[in-house]
Amino acid sequence: MKLLTHNMLTSHVKGVTKGYPLLIKATEVKVNEVDFNPQFVSRMIPKLEWSALVQAADELGHRQDLPVELVPEYEKNEEFLKKVHRVLLEVEVIEGCLRCPESGREFPISRGIPNMLLNDDEV
């Protein structure tokens, strides 16, 4: 699971209203090399919940110096875009779980795949 994906995921346990962002507990993290496409990254940024990304990167110990707030005019800032690229697309959670911040429910991640299926009593 990449952090770009994580940014879209939310807890959907019945009754939960504050299920985003999911807290990440990772036991295995991989960093891959992914071709850098600055326009691609730049276009992704407006679609992100930025603070959720920073928090997630932090939880994985991969935040490095990603700023708490978006830098202005990031579109032209290649250095900044590279940092975002790394965190969004290169860092991957292979094993671990996603924890609902409200209910505590844990969704396992195994072999890179989060299992968001709910049990019958959670729907």
Partner 1 sequence: MMEEAASQLERDHVHSVYDKIAPYFNDSRYKAWPKVQQFLLNLQPGSIVADIGCGNGKYLHINKEVFKMGCDVCRPLVDFAWSQGHEVQMCDGLHLPYRDGCFDALLSIAVIHHLSTKERRIRAIKEMARTLRVGGRIMIYVWAMEQKRRKFEKQDIFVPWNPNPQSPTDREPAKPRKRATAQSVSEAIDNADKHRKVRSTSSVADEEELTCTTPQQSTQRLWFFSRSLDSVFDFGSLSISRSSSRDLSTLSSPTGENERNKSSHWGRGRGLIKQVSSFFSPTSVIGSEEDVFDSVTNLHKGQNAPGGNNNSPENQSVSVSLAQECGSLALPDLVPFQKEHLKQSSDESEGGLQGKEQHESTKSSQGSERQVEGSCLRYYHVFREGELAELIENHVDELLVKHTYFDHANWCVVAEKVQICKI
Binding residues (CB under 8 A) for partner 1: these are: 1-2, 4-5, 8-12, 20, 32-35, 37, 39-40, 42-44, 47, 49, 89, 107, 111-118, 123
Residues in the chain: 123
- Nearest distance from C-beta of residue 42 to partner 1, angstroms: 8
Q: Which is nearer to partner 1, 69 or 117 (CB)?
A: 117
- Nearest distance from C-beta of residue 15 to partner 1, angstroms: 13
Coil, helix or strand at residue 84? helix
Q: Which is nearer to partner 1, 65 or 76 (CB)?
A: 76
Q: How far apart are CA 86 and CA 89, in angstroms?
A: 6
- Asked whether 47 and 4 are in contact (CB, 8 A), the reply is no
Q: How far apart are CA 8 and CA 75, in angstroms?
A: 22
- Nearest distance from C-beta of residue 111 to partner 1, angstroms: 7
